[in-house]
Structure 1
Amino acid sequence: MLEEVERWLAGRSWSAADRPLERLLEAKRQTGQTVSVVLPALDEEATVGAIVAAIRADLMTGEVPLVDELVVLDSGSTDRTAEVAAAAGARVVHRDSVLPRIPALPGKGEVLWRSLMVTGGDIVCFVDADLREFSAIFVSGIVGPLLTDPDVQFVKAMYDRPLETGQGPAPGQGGRVTELVARPLLNLHWPQLAGFVQPLGGEYAARRSLLERLPFPVGYGVELGLLVDALHTVGLDALAQVDVGVRKHRHQGGQALGRMAAAIYRTAQLRLARGHLIRPRLTQFDRGENGFVPRTTAVDTEERPPMAEIPEYAERRAA
């Protein structure tokens, strides 16, 4: 298995600089492929506008019109996320307006799944809306292999991920859930995926024809679920990763990371042993006036079916 991973790393891991923008634009023209970029957003007014503006300036309205569609999928923000995104030039869609027949559930995976219903690109690129010092290379880098290599189906971004501390950034210390939960799970149970540097990263692109066949965990487990299911659907050689530099974003606290870890573990568990599994709960502790107070929350376990099974989606695609 180690030899297979090393072979994959040699043949399916690239730098964004390996594919200049001019080459990507020519490939897009020759193949006729279209590209949709989706930003799932929940209370991201501080960062979403700059991301939208950068994508529009560098990849839509300038000399390299690589992106055909830019959508911010608002997951119920209570701040000015929708207003800021629209002012920057994005089309803003509220989660609850998509497939109203199916009541929406909270979670990132939910809005990613619904985004397939309101976008039309042959290639769909997801980008988190909390990135700081954003560069459009996060988009061009990961759509590049899909535009230039017909054998590639799914591409993850890889990057350095410093952890912001009171003493400044700590290189290589970001991605705590990746190192403590996701990487051990993948190495133990799906060793073919051990070569992915950022398996939980929120920046990835895939062919619509693949995404519409995959189930989407509604919450934090969506990245692991899609990666594992893509492996089983199209095989390792159809997966790739591209180095896009450094990713800076808002880091979550320890308890939020605990909930994320539980959801990711549950997503892996469901794929390892689908059957009679109890609905899990996670107990965490806050300090109160009289000591530690337990707080128990359900671990999100819902998954949406492949979008290709949804009648409204089939009708829209046929039209």
Structure 2
Amino acid sequence: MVDSRSTDRTAQVARAAGAEVVSQDAMTRGLPRLAGKGDALWAGLAAAEGDVVAFVDADLREFRPHFVTGLLGPLLTDPGVQFVKGFYHRPLVGATSVEPDGGGRVTELMARPLLNLFWPELAGFVQPLAGEYAGRREVLERVPFVTGYGVETAMLIDLLELVGLDALAQVDLGERKHRHQDTAALGRMSAQIMLTAWSRLQRRGWAAPGVAPTALLTQFRRGGSEALPNLDREIVVSDVSVQERPPLAQMRQRLPRRRVAAA
């Protein structure tokens, strides 16, 4: 497990359960400090030692072993498969009701239309933003890892260009339950995915080169407080910029030894 600067007892609980915990900061020591999920995944790949590597989000509820074995199956049985993406039903649990497939809001409202428009080869992926996937180490080490919520989008696009669609697979993992974020947080997530897609469009020459889109997202939330009781709307500006770790294969000589970092 990668400890991504947690402030609760995540690392201690994981160790008590028998997991080996690796510090994100230890594995990236001496490199520019980055934040977000993508950097934690990059650190995890640097720490792992197997020929195949599986990534699973840590906030899953009712976790079952098939989340791992299902992802590894195609890699172990078909040498032509280089990367496997999970998909599942994602119930959206509300205060009074449950939508059986209402959990993929960013996927359906933004990511799927975006991929269909520019990368129609990826239209067949049921859950392009799924946090559960696995791949062969030698392939994963050849793609960059984008920070924040752009990591899954970048990985799919980059792997499509690197190994081709026939080397990408997906498996049905049943149902996935996890915590849900509010609408404003989903907006910030969407903005990071759009910035990630823009960078890939620029690399292909499909977007104006040298044009840097703004990474500041303006949102509005309900105002009102004891000091300003009549304030109806509050303006909130968030930095949604994304950065990248270069492919791990280019950085191996600059990384600390895994066992020293884990200790």
TM-score, normalised via structure 2 length: 0.90
1:310 is aligned to 2:245? no
1:65 corresponds to which residue?
A: none
User: Match of 1:257, as an amino acid?
Assistant: L
Could you list the per-position Cα deviations for residues 278-308 of structure 1 after superposition, in whole angstroms to 9, with x for gaps in the alignment? 2421011122221211111111221111111
The answer to whether residue 222 in structure 2 is matched with residue 287 in structure 1 is yes
1:245 aligns with 2:180: no
Number of corresponding residues: 246
Match of residue 61 from structure 2 = 132
Who is 1:17 aligned against? none
8 A Cα contact 2:70 2:173, kept in partner: yes
Amino acid at match of 2:250: E
1:199 paired residue among 128, 132, 142:
128
> Is 1:84 matched up with 2:84?
no
Alpha-carbon distance in structure 2 between the residues aligned to 1:281 and 1:87 = 41
Shift of 1:313: 6.1
- Could you report, residue by residue, the CA deviation over 1:10-37 in whole angstroms, capped at 9, with x for unpaired residues? xxxxxxxxxxxxxxxxxxxxxxxxxxxx
2:18 is aligned with 1:93: no
Q: Which residue of 2 aligns with 1:257?
A: 186
Gaps of 5+ in 1: 1-71
Q: What is the deviation of 1:315?
A: 9.1
Q: Is the 8 A contact 1:106 1:219 kept in 2?
A: yes
Q: Which runs of 4+ in 1 moved over 3 A?
A: 313-317
Mapped to 1, the partners of 2:19 and 2:33 lie a distance apart of 22
Matched, 1:74 2:3: yes
**Contact (CA 8 Å) 1:225, 1:267: kept in 2 or not?**
yes
What percent of counterpart residues are identical?
58
Is 1:215 aligned with 2:149? no
Structure-2 separation of matches of 1:122 and 1:170: 39
**Partners of 1:123 and 1:277 in 2: CA distance:** 37
Matches within 5 A, 1:1-319: 72-274=1-203, 275-278=209-212, 279-289=214-224, 290-312=231-253
Larger relative contact order (C-alpha < 8 A, sep ≥ 6)?
2
Q: How far apart are 1:314 and its partner, in Å?
A: 8.2
Instruction: Give the distance between the partners of 1:154 and 1:227, measured in 2 at CA.
Output: 9
**Counterpart-to-counterpart distance in 1, 2:239 and 2:256:** 35
Cα separation, 1, equivalents of 2:211 and 2:141? 26
Matched AA of 1:283:
T
State the distance in 2 between where 1:198 and 1:139 align.
16
Query: What is the letter of the counterpart of residue 288 of structure 1?
Result: G
Check the 8 A contact 1:308/1:314 in 2, yes or no: no
1:205 aligned partner, one-letter code: A
> Larger % of strand: which?
1
Residues 314 and 122 (structure 1), Cα distance of their counterparts in 2 relative to 1, 3 Å cut: farther
